[in-house]
Structure 1
């Protein structure tokens, strides 16, 4: 017997599809089912590396954790990583098949349906339930002809569909009724129920509106989920400040550069969860203010982002900031930017063949055609603290005189060889690494934050009682599942699946 499928679609982007999918994964797991998440096609700046060494959207890795299963490339067979406004790198089953313009990708889509079907078949054969996430809205009439991720996937999976709408954004009734109005009759038939997300107030005050809407769409509202702020589940590509930071005590402020091609900024979620720490994303030097540290994040196009930083006079500002004795950190592409130069003679990433770096670390980086994607684990060279994470990058970095490796790591692959990663300046105020997820490690994160606190004359935070990011997420999955379970008609949903 193959597994059953349930699909979560939305009235638009950022209405909560990813989070509701994660919640349903955990709810079904708690009932004893083997569950896998799935998204046929994902456009994401945040990606994760699986054990197979393939890239998938970060949201699917989060959903896999909610389902208590190991992430797989089959959970997100097609990943689009934007490069420019009109082009993206296309990953199929975790590996790049090239860069495509929007029109080129439209022409490619039909040939990718068998890849989607292959992954769906794999998951349905190995799990009891596949919880599928859609993308954007199924009612984008200009995109319907080339749809791959919404109703096309629902048909391939033989999935019942739940439609999610965000009431906090306003216009919830119009967005739901309008969605149904723009769908074909067979598509409306596939939608079995509606979920209202992020509601502030008493549900009884919604009742007249819900009754009228059910009359218009002839579908039931199966739940109203309250607005929540006391726990956090990573969502797709949102980097906006979280509501709970607004009234948070600000002992330490960390500025993260919002690069034009920023990627994997979920690396900094754990810092936002840390006591007294405010994380602020900044676009130009005039917004910098006086933070305690600057972090340069990963980039989908490191060389062009570095060129832009030179043009905007960011580099001079960061160098001046460092000379004041403050901390500068680079992750992945940001690490490469901290060096003396980056060279890309084969145009693996950019048409710019050589560019001067910030010169804050005595390292050089050379780009090659090979892209490194792997999980890694090891320890901080200076302290022996254990770390784990994953790497996604072009280029190889060489350390020169005056810098020490930051980490000693093993990279998962055919040969699990111990190697060095990253670099740290002699005074310890500048460091970089290729390892995504470094701040997930509570001891490393607190040592970093405490160094900033001590510089300001503040008492250090204690390690005792602090949770690592995996424990924070696990607690959040449980709280989310409790909230959603109490808000939805679960019997209605289970009857759809079984």
Structure 2
């Protein structure tokens, strides 16, 4: 059969691109297609190590699982792991090639287009259908000339685009129309329709807005997805963490306080604890939030020294030591474990 691809882009970050891509991978798999996910570039501290020892973003791993296939680094050829405000470790095809500042990486990124294209072509030769995920918004006008993950990728793959918007945060019509207005004419032609995500309430109340969108953009709303809380998929970044989304789902007896480091990494490791009915897991930012937990966890970090300095600066360092001296168990993971050392 003829090879095909479909791209999921969004009006912004955290609108639901990753989970919709995963859902489509599962749907196409159940329809009998050999389907595979792809994201040219990911920025995340929640990473995964493949069977071959390569590192990639967890979102594409979940999507691969939904497709019923083994994850490989070709599915996420470029992974950026932030180390500070303007610096990231750059992982290419699963291997680190160095740490780069924002300006240097923007100039270097042009050299990675060949890597992205070759990874995509390898997957295309193996599967019937590739579901491609974009990143952030396709209309960051200051970045478009160096884009390798949104409309540039859609052009490279000759992929039709579905645009996802989040109604829960408000401003869904403005975000869709604004995005369309900022796209070039050829880019607008690639957009085949919209998906409105995280809807709560009566769909009939939304209908006039859907009619307005169709009239204004000449594009259809292809689906309205309800807000859900019962599907658990690893997050790419800490946006949801900052919004308090990952505090415990239960009010269990065992109180676990996870220190929310500024550069926290792989925080989704704690999701199994979060779902345990006997555990109340919470993320702590300030010392007054610690209380008297049964367990304190200092998680991994991409910058151990900077985050240790932060703990001392805000008073969490001394608060943790005080609770430890009174018998509260403290566990450190990766960088957090290094912080527990004496020298």
TM-score by length of 2: 0.95
CA–CA distance in 2 between the matches of 1:212 and 1:317? 55
Structure of larger gyration radius: 1
Task: Confirm whether residue 301 of structure 1 aligns to residue 269 of structure 2.
Answer: no
1:255 to 254, 257, 282: 257
- Matched residue of 1:189: which SS? helix
CA contact (8 A) 2:247 2:283 kept: no
Q: How many residues are matched?
A: 340
CA–CA distance in 2 between the matches of 1:336 and 1:7? 41
- Matched residue of 2:168: which SS? helix
CA–CA distance in 2 between the matches of 1:197 and 1:158? 25
2:274 matched residue in structure 1: 272
1:178 matched residue in structure 2: 178
1:120 matched residue in structure 2: 120
Superposed displacement of residue 2, structure 1: 6.3
2:47 matched residue in structure 1: 47
Write the deviation string for residues 207-264 of structure 1: whole angstroms up to 9, x where unpaired: 1110111111111111100111122222211324338946x33422211111121100
C-alpha distance 54-32 of structure 1, shift in aligned 2 (>3 A) = same
1:241 to 240, 244, 255: 244
- Matched residue of 1:169: which SS? coil
CA contact (8 A) 1:13 1:135 kept: yes
**RCO higher in structure (CA 8 A, sep ≥6):** 2
CA–CA distance in 2 between the matches of 1:285 and 1:45? 24
Q: CA RMSD in A?
A: 1.6
2:220 matched residue in structure 1: 220
In structure 2, stretches of 5+ residues that fail to align are none
CA contact (8 A) 1:164 1:195 kept: yes
Write the deviation string for residues 338-381 of structure 1: whole angstroms up to 9, x where unpaired: 2232xxxxxxxxxxxxxxxxxxxxxxxxxxxxxxxxxxxxxxxx
CA contact (8 A) 2:37 2:60 kept: yes
2:316 to 309, 314, 317: 314
1:93 matched residue in structure 2: 93
Question: Within 5 A, what are the aligned runs for 1:353-392?
Answer: none
Superposed displacement of residue 307, structure 1: 3.0
CA–CA distance in 2 between the matches of 1:307 and 1:167? 39
- Matched residue of 2:193: which SS? strand
CA–CA distance in 2 between the matches of 1:192 and 1:286? 50
CA contact (8 A) 2:248 2:282 kept: no
Select between 110-119 and 327-336 the one with higher mean Cα deviation: 327-336
CA contact (8 A) 1:254 1:295 kept: yes
- Matched residue of 2:141: which SS? coil
CA–CA distance in 1 between the matches of 2:66 and 2:80? 23
1:324 matched residue in structure 2: 326
CA–CA distance in 2 between the matches of 1:57 and 1:2? 29
TM-score by length of 1: 0.66
CA–CA distance in 2 between the matches of 1:110 and 1:171? 34
Question: Within 5 A, what are the aligned runs for 1:426-445?
Answer: none
- Matched residue of 1:205: which SS? helix
CA–CA distance in 1 between the matches of 2:177 and 2:75? 31
1:206 matched residue in structure 2: 206
- Matched residue of 1:33: which SS? coil
